[in-house]
Structure 1
Amino acid sequence: MSICIKEVGRTFGAFTALDKINLIVEDGEFLAILGPSGCGKTTLLRLLAGFDAPTAGTIEMDGRIVGSPRHSLPPEQRNIGMVFQSFALWPHMNVRKHIEFSLLHHQYVRTALKKEYKQRTDEVLRMIKLQHFADRMPAELSGGQKQRVALGRAIAPQPKLLLMDEPLSSLDAELRIAMRGELQDIHRLTGATIIYVTHDQSEALAMADRMVVMNRGTVEQIGTPKEIYMHPKTDFVARFVGKANLIKGTWTGKTFSPDEAPDSRWPDPGVSELLKKQAVYPARPEQLALSRASSGIPATVTNVQYQGKEIHYTVRTNGGIWRVDTDLSQNYDMGDSVFLKLKSTYDLSAEM
């Protein structure tokens, strides 16, 4: 399903939840909507689902207007599937019954599929790897298994659009990572358009074909995960997605000199014109290095976090507090005096 969102707005009294959102989603695309709590991403998802109507603009699905201030199609009249954060399983139904229910009652299920609903149920159970748990009740399932049931129920009717509202947020960290692969597999198997709402940048970067970064009801940037991470257009995107340190300094053409180390010359990896006008350099934690040699920005180590394969340092300079991620060869203690600089071996131009 292709989607066209034109100048969409949503207000609640004097509060503007969404302001002039413009977005095109291609058929079969996996699109992640990323942003902090309160940015408007769930409001946008509700408009797409038909749970709410826009107060401005239009929403088109496959060329048909389904949402506008004048008229909004209800959810049951849109060929969609929905996966909620809370799983929303029925406690009196076993796994098989959850899948069968969506096949028997979804309005857009093809007649042939509805007639062969038992075979389709078996197919979906294999797809979500719960064929041996078909008779289990929700209370007998783990968190990951419950999430698979919710996914199976959503994909069984073969909807053209899958809407997912932070479906992995209630799972533990290890299970969230495992479920990313499951979601990618399901996307490949179904070919459905997926719109995935999350506040977790790692989820969006790992799974999405494209990302929409939102902030305060507006779209900050749209692009592939690599484009968003490597070339943020705004300071918000740089901080939120790449955890970048916005270091103040002077731009001279394609060369940057930090205020605290004016003799340093940092190359331009494709920094946006907006960030250049703000006289900052977005340096991600892994692009920076610490040294005891007296060159670079003077700093003091204020926090050390050992992460197994790397170490996360927090350092304080006269200009601010920065994060630096290093390999295990660099070992510093809290209180150490160091110098902060761009990695000399970091080939920025190769990443453009």
Structure 2
Amino acid sequence: MNSARVVGVSKKFGGVTALHQLDLQIGQGEFVALLGPSGCGKTTLLRLLAGFESPTSGEIWINNECVADASKRKPPEERRIGMVFQSFALWPHLTVYENVAFPLQHQQQVPEAFRQNPKARVAQMLEMVGLGGMEERFPSQLSGGQKQRVALARAIVFNPTLLLMDEPLSSLDAELRMQMRKEIQFIHRELGTSIVYVTHDQSEALAMADQIVVMKSGRVEQAGTPHDIYYAPESPFVAKFVGRANFLKGSWAAPGTFLLEKHGAPALPITVSRDFSAFYAQQVLPVRPDQLKLSAWQPGADGIVGKVVHVQFQGRELIYSIRVGEEEWEVVTDISERFAYDEPVQVEVCL
């Protein structure tokens, strides 16, 4: 069962096309991250799902009902959606209780039990987001993290079909972002609400989502699980944008065999189990830094030889820059594997 479907949706603003014939399905209880650089169309898509904009063409379905096409648009309050914004968007003259209770009074599809006893429902939601007992405070008396929790409680208080989140953590500091990630994942598990989460932070998308939709220039570049997006990118853009990637030069002898170029030596065949057909034209193989393994160089040993040109300490891991021929590869290793500057090393590709 789908919570929402986007069918052949395009959106134009004057002469600019923000979305091109987009298709997307959000399953019941699924956490979908829309990931891409600024201007790729992800916030436009969120606004279309919310009901703030109408599609130029195509249809938007929520709960098996067509809520928007080029000729009609159901308003946001009739869609049973919750929204969390980057700016919190709390009413400064209302208390925490009044902010969170607002949808129970104004949303059209509120369960009768919540409408009849709003105090109990608001108290339950504030406990869930860790703000129990703060009902009488005003937004000006709250920290940034507390304000975001109030915004989250307000968005879920009426049990929405779909929760839309537009870069909700980008204004918080790094430690608070990590904490709020856990909160959002906990709420998702507890409530089972479908979530569409807009972000340009790839680590956020990889950590939280069931499905990631990578967007570029108003189109879906690739959609899949975090594992597939990371380890089986379908385009050079996805390989670069989601995580770091080395593009190893060589030639594709066959779909499952890449011949790695070795300067002054026979090419090294590498067996590849995934479909990397998008990289055939460039004659490169995308390899993540953690898919390369370093070991001490042995004189006369066969394989790939490189030299350490840079080291970054990252706590549990080390990030090495390794010069291989005319290229520089990035390699991530465990903290126990230490190599010195200018030290020759063996590099193994582990796909």
Q: TM-score, normalised by structure 1?
A: 0.91
Q: Distance in 2 between matches of 1:179 and 1:296?
A: 45
> Which amino acid in the other structure matches residue 287 of structure 1?
Q
Task: Give 1:332 deviation, angstroms.
Answer: 4.0
Q: Distance in 2 between matches of 1:44 and 1:314?
A: 38
Do the aligned residues in 1 keep the contact of 2:321 with 2:330 (CA within 8 Å)? yes
Q: Identify which of 320, 324, 327 aligns with 1:313.
A: 320
Q: Identify which of 338, 344, 348 aligns with 1:342.
A: 348
Partner of 1:234: 235
Partner of 1:151: 152
- 1:265 aligned to 2:269? yes
Task: Give 1:263 deviation, angstroms.
Answer: 3.5
> Which amino acid in the other structure matches residue 268 of structure 2?
S
Do the aligned residues in 2 keep the contact of 1:271 with 1:282 (CA within 8 Å)? no
Partner of 2:290: 286
1:261-296 CA-partner distances (Å, limit 9, x unpaired)? 543232214142222343211110111134552655
Q: 1:319 to 1:60 in 2, by over 3 A?
A: farther
Q: Identify which of 330, 338, 343 aligns with 2:337.
A: 330
Task: Give 1:327 deviation, angstroms.
Answer: 1.7
| Partner SS state of residue 133, structure 2 | helix
Task: Give 1:134 deviation, angstroms.
Answer: 2.3
Task: Give 1:319 deviation, angstroms.
Answer: 4.6
Q: Distance in 2 between matches of 1:248 and 1:77?
A: 54
Q: What does 1:190-269 correspond to in 2, within 5 Å?
A: 190-253=191-254, 254-260=256-262, 262-269=266-273
Q: TM-score, normalised by structure 2?
A: 0.91
Q: 1:316 to 1:79 in 2, by over 3 A?
A: same
1:15-74 CA-partner distances (Å, limit 9, x unpaired)? 221111111111221111111111111111011111111112111112222222222222
Q: 1:11 to 1:299 in 2, by over 3 A?
A: farther
Q: Distance in 2 between matches of 1:207 and 1:35?
A: 16
1:221-241 CA-partner distances (Å, limit 9, x unpaired)? 111111212211111111211
Q: Identify which of 272, 275, 279 aligns with 1:275.
A: 279
Q: 1:19 to 1:337 in 2, by over 3 A?
A: farther
Task: Give 1:307 deviation, angstroms.
Answer: 0.3
> Which amino acid in the other structure matches residue 269 of structure 2?
R
Unaligned runs of 5+ in 1: none
Partner of 1:39: 40
Residue identity over aligned pairs, in percent, reads 50
Task: Give 1:153 deviation, angstroms.
Answer: 0.4
> Which amino acid in the other structure matches residue 281 of structure 1?
L
More strand by share: 2
Q: Distance in 1 between matches of 2:141 and 2:308?
A: 48
Q: Distance in 2 between matches of 1:250 and 1:239?
A: 20
Task: Give 1:177 deviation, angstroms.
Answer: 1.5
Across the aligned residues of Structure 1 and Structure 2, the Cα RMSD in angstroms comes to 2.1
Q: Distance in 2 between matches of 1:13 and 1:101?
A: 35
Unaligned runs of 5+ in 2: none
Q: Distance in 2 between matches of 1:271 and 1:323?
A: 23
Do the aligned residues in 2 keep the contact of 1:2 with 1:26 (CA within 8 Å)? yes
Q: What does 1:3-14 correspond to in 2, within 5 Å?
A: 3-14=4-15
Do the aligned residues in 2 keep the contact of 1:87 with 1:147 (CA within 8 Å)? yes
Partner of 1:138: 139
Deviates more, 1:298-307 or 1:188-197: 298-307
Do the aligned residues in 2 keep the contact of 1:85 with 1:166 (CA within 8 Å)? yes
Task: Give 1:333 deviation, angstroms.
Answer: 4.8
Do the aligned residues in 1 keep the contact of 2:10 with 2:58 (CA within 8 Å)? yes
Partner of 2:128: 127
Task: Give 1:339 deviation, angstroms.
Answer: 4.7
